[in-house]
Amino acid sequence: MTCDALSRDDWSMPKNARKAPEYKEKQAAPKLLAWYGKHARVLPWRARSGEAADPYAVWLSEIMLQQTTVATVGPYFMGFLKRWPTVEALAKAPQDDVMKAWAGLGYYARARNMHACAKAISSDHGGKFPEDMEGLGRLPGIGPYTAAAIAAIAFGKRATVVDGNVERVVARLFDIETPLPKAKPEIRKAAETLTPDTRAGDFAQAMMDLGATVCTPKSPACNRCPINDLCDARTNGTQGLRPARAPKKPKPARQGACFWLTRNGHVWLRRRADKGLLGGMMEVPGTPWDRSDCHRTVKKLSQTDFDWAYPHAPTTAEWRLVPGLVTHSFTHFDLELSVFTAATRKKLVPGAEGRWVPLDELHGEALPTVMRKVAAHAMPEAGPLFAKR
């Protein structure tokens, strides 16, 4: 069937009939590229029209944007670029400085891999990013998605970039019924049929922008969509059901306690082990996060309910339980922390690992979000301390 025949017949297409994939293949890219020319988002890492993209900026933004929103990433991206304007400058930075600058972005393994990647590019590639997906994919922290994004956006290679926004657009465009995550290969295959031979980077960004601004998760603005005539979900009225998702398993809840020890305007912090969750970040010392029963009667908790926790305190002191809990959601579990506070006059904490950090320098420490919450809970006036980014 020709495209012309399909266009003519389109209006009478029966409900639930899928538009032929080859029709979308030919039409989606030109329509989206024309729309992108007028409606592209202005983003700090994005090249302006007519300018070549900077591979370093593309890479940095793509690493930061994994699991994080554009609004959150903006100030971090600008801060990194100002402080380390090239990949070689970043490679020379001490890891501790990189972790501090990253603090608050979450998924801290990304920061460590990013630093390792900068070093590898600097030492093994003369400071230049490889241009193809294979070369990019051999670098630390660059998976298939990031390799495709850099190859397409920075070097104009034909590569298909499928992030969460693109996944949603494609699942709707093809009205894919298979639930995520099982649908991922099907969605990728469908997305590949849409990718044009030229301007693959603009096309990738157009798809991302469409997902972010028009084909949004809850209420897609189909009447403003440049490819609404190609969309099977729109034809079938299933936009709200796509992408289909397998029911989420409830996350396990874990519990623990931590100890906010102050002395003369300082707080005692320690560094977490390099490997594992929040590896290499600073933390308020406490128990392992392996309990599931200690907050069951949270309203009635007393100091003695925490006899099990005190051996994990950095020192003996008059610990006071702060009412309420700190809650934080990690990818694989939800955490509840009780917080104890005490002040001490002791200069050193015998046998404890850590160091005294001036409270007014807390904002510059590599404290992950959960520990910032602990600080704010222990000391409500700590909030402004983190405002000096």
Which residues of this protein are in contact with ligand SF4, per CB under 6 A? 169, 172-173, 214-215, 220, 222, 225, 227-228, 231, 233-234, 239
- Whether residue 190 contacts residue 25, with contact meaning beta carbons closer than 8 Å, is answered with no
Residue 190: name the closest of 364, 19, 21 by CA: 21
- Shortest distance, position 237 Cβ to ligand SF4, whole Å: 10
- Shortest distance, position 76 Cβ to ligand SF4, whole Å: 30
Q: 209 vs 283, which CB is nearer to ligand SF4?
A: 209
Q: 87 vs 231, which CB is nearer to ligand SF4?
A: 231
Residues 169, 73: Cα–Cα separation, whole Å: 23
Q: Which amino acid is residue 249, in one-letter code? A: K
Residue 74: name the closest of 66, 87, 65 by CA: 65
- Shortest distance, position 70 Cβ to ligand SF4, whole Å: 19
- Shortest distance, position 14 Cβ to ligand SF4, whole Å: 18
- Shortest distance, position 217 Cβ to ligand SF4, whole Å: 10
Residues 381, 248: Cα–Cα separation, whole Å: 37
3-class secondary structure, 326: strand
3-class secondary structure, 283: strand
Two tokens, residue 155: 């070097």
Q: 186 vs 305, which CB is nearer to ligand SF4?
A: 186
Q: At CA 373, angle to CA 371 and CA 375, rounded to 5? A: 70
Beta carbons within 8 Å of 229's beta carbon, 6+ residues apart: 10, 27
Q: 46 vs 172, which CB is nearer to ligand SF4?
A: 172
Say whether 62 is catalytic. Answer: yes
Catalytic residue among 22, 62, 88, 381: 62
Q: 148 vs 212, which CB is nearer to ligand SF4?
A: 212
Q: Which amino acid is residue 293, in one-letter code? A: D
Q: Hey, which residues are catalytic here?
A: 62
